Amino acid sequence: MQIYIDTASIEDIRAASDMGVLDGVTTNPSLVAKEGVDFHDRLKEICDVVPGPVSAEVVSTESDGMLEEAKPLLEIADNIVIKLPCTVDGLRACKHLSSNGVRVNMTLCFQPLQAMLAAKAGAFLISPFLGRLDDLGQDSMDLIQQIRTIYDNYGYETKVLAASVRHPMHLVECALVGADVATVPFKVIQQMMNHPLTDSGLKKFLDDWAAMNTPSSG
Ligand code: E4P
């Protein structure tokens, strides 16, 4: 499964990239607003650090505006992926962009038919949101499973990108049901390598080693 980082923080992106397992980046207007930086400048910085797909979201709600916004974003770097909402206008813009060789990430996906239409419109990525569905008491993993089955049944090449990831168990379940990618906050990326038994086991090895190599006072 590919791992993207879900942030616009350049420090977190650098730190995750240094771990050697980062495949791409997703941003959204809320994440960029949190940073208080120029959107295009930040995207350029991100693309200089990460060679994989970097999703940049439009804020227009009509397809013509989405296509206009996409033009300068695509000039930033070759690895920019245009992120569009799962609406009829988003679908129309997706079809236009993907027909012209542009990679599109269809975001805010909450039901499988949105994913089916996004695939038919040529999307490169579909982003079902896990945490936001869980918040409503729905089982978000059902959605991932349904999209996986539909895509496999018809041979759609759109990649399933699990978004709105909140904790490591989301990632375990995504990997088990066959999501292609998960986009993950930096905190959860760090949690992926954590286990208290790893820490206590390592401490015991090092303590035993140090004791063996410490000359006895007697
Ligand atoms: C990523 O593409 C999404 O915008 C992001 O994962 C949404 O996460 P949230 O539900 O935690 O805001």
Task: Output the residue whose Cα is nearest ligand 1's atom 8.
Answer: 164
Helices (H), 77-179: 88-99, 112-120, 130-134, 140-154, 168-177
Specify burial of residue 198 (Cβ count, 10 A radius: 0-12, 13-18, 19+): exposed
Domain-located, residue 21: yes
Domain containing 41 — which CATH number? 3.20.20.70
pLDDT the model gives residue 218: 61
Please list the ranges in the chain whose pLDDT falls under 70. 217-218
Q: Say which residue the tokens 């869980």 belong to.
A: 134
What is the span of the domain harbouring residue 49?
A: 2-192
Cα torsion angle, 134, 136, 142, 144, sign: negative
198 falls within a domain: no
pLDDT at 217: 66
Mutation probe of ligand 1 site: the residue of 3, 6, 125 with most atoms within 8 A of C-beta: 6
- Say which amino acid occupies 66: M
Helix, strand, coil percentages (3-state) for the chain, rounded to 5, are 55, 15, 30
Q: What would the pLDDT profile of 125-157 be if each residue is shown by its tens digit?
A: 999 999 999 999 999 999 999 999 999 999 999
pLDDT given at position 214: 87
Give distance in angstroms: CA of 97 to centre of ligand 1.
23
Verify whether ligand 1 is closer than 6 Å to residue 26 (CB atom): yes
**Active-site residue, selected from the candidate residues 34, 71, 83, 120:** 83
Q: What is the pLDDT of residue 192?
A: 96
Beta-carbon-side half-sphere exposure of residue 157 (alpha carbons within 13 Å): 6
Residue at 203 is within a domain: no
Mutate to test the pocket of ligand 1, among 46, 183, 189 (most ligand atoms within 8 A of CB): 183
| 2 DSSP β-pair partners | 181
Q: Is residue 206 part of a domain?
A: no
Residue 164's pLDDT is 98
Give the pLDDT confidence score for residue 205 in this predicted structure: 98
Residue 214 belongs to some domain of the structure? no
* Ligand 1 near 129 CB (within 6 A): yes
Q: What is the pTM of this model?
A: 0.95
What domain count does the chain have? Answer: 1
Determine whether the shortest distance from the Cβ of 156 to ligand 1 is under 6 A. Answer: no
Ligand 1: which of 27, 104, 164, 170 to mutate, most ligand atoms within 8 Å of CB?
Answer: 164
- The answer to whether residue 176 is domain-embedded is yes
Within-domain flag for 211: no
**163 CB near ligand 1 (under 6 Å):** yes
CB 25 within 8 A of CB 52: yes
What pLDDT is recorded for position 211? 95
On whether residue 155 sits in a domain, the answer given is yes
